[in-house]
A and B are shown apart, each in its own frame.
Chain A
Amino acid sequence: MKLSYIGRDLIGVVGLAIISLAAGLIINHAGPHPIPLVHQSPSERLQGELTRLVAAPPFESFPVETVGLDEFRPAVESKDDLILDARSSSFYLKGHVPGAINLARDEFARDYVRLRSSLEKSKEAPIVVYCSGGDCHDSKMVAQALTSLGYSQVKVFTGGWDAWTAAGLPTERGEPAGK
Chain B
Amino acid sequence: MKLTPRTHFWIDLLIRLVVGGVFITAGAMKIGEPLQFGDKIASFEILPNSLVNLLALGLPVFEMLCGLLLIAAWLRRPAALAISIISGIFLIAIVTALARGLTIDCGCFGTGTPTRARMWLDLARDTGLFLAVVIAYLYPAIKAPHAPESEARILSERAAT
Contact = CB atoms under 8 A, between A and B. Distances in A.
B53 A39 contact: yes
Contacts of B20: none
Nearest to B148: A2
A16 B62 contact: yes
A99 B51 CA distance: 40
A1 interface: yes
Interface in B88-115: 103, 111, 113-115
Interface residues of B, number: 42
Interface string B115-139: 1000000000000000000000011
A38 B53 CA distance: 6
Contacts of B139: 1
Given A35-B53, A41-B42, A24 B60 contact: yes
A12 B78 contact: yes
Interface string A11-22: 111011101110
Nearest to B144: A5
Most B Cβ at <10 Å: residue of A5, A15, A24, A38: A24
A113 B35 CA distance: 21
A24 B61 contact: yes
A23 interface: yes
A72 B79 CA distance: 50
Interface string B9-51: 0000000000000000000000111111011011000000110
6 contacts: A6-B81, A13-B81, A21-B57, A27-B57, A41-B42, A106-B35
Contact of B50 (A15, A16, A38): A38
B66 interface: yes
Please give me the 8 A-B residue pairs with the lowest Cβ-Cβ distance, nearest first: A12-B78, A39-B52, A20-B62, A24-B57, A21-B58, A134-B113, A20-B61, A24-B58
A11 B59 CA distance: 17
Nearest to A37: B53
Contact of A19 (B38, B65, B114): B65
Given A12-B75, A135-B103, A135-B114, A35 B81 contact: no
A48 interface: no
B85 interface: yes
A16 B57 contact: no
Interface string A71-95: 0000000000000000010100000
A151 B32 CA distance: 33
B82 interface: yes
A162 interface: yes
A132 interface: yes
Contact of B54 (A10, A13, A21): A21
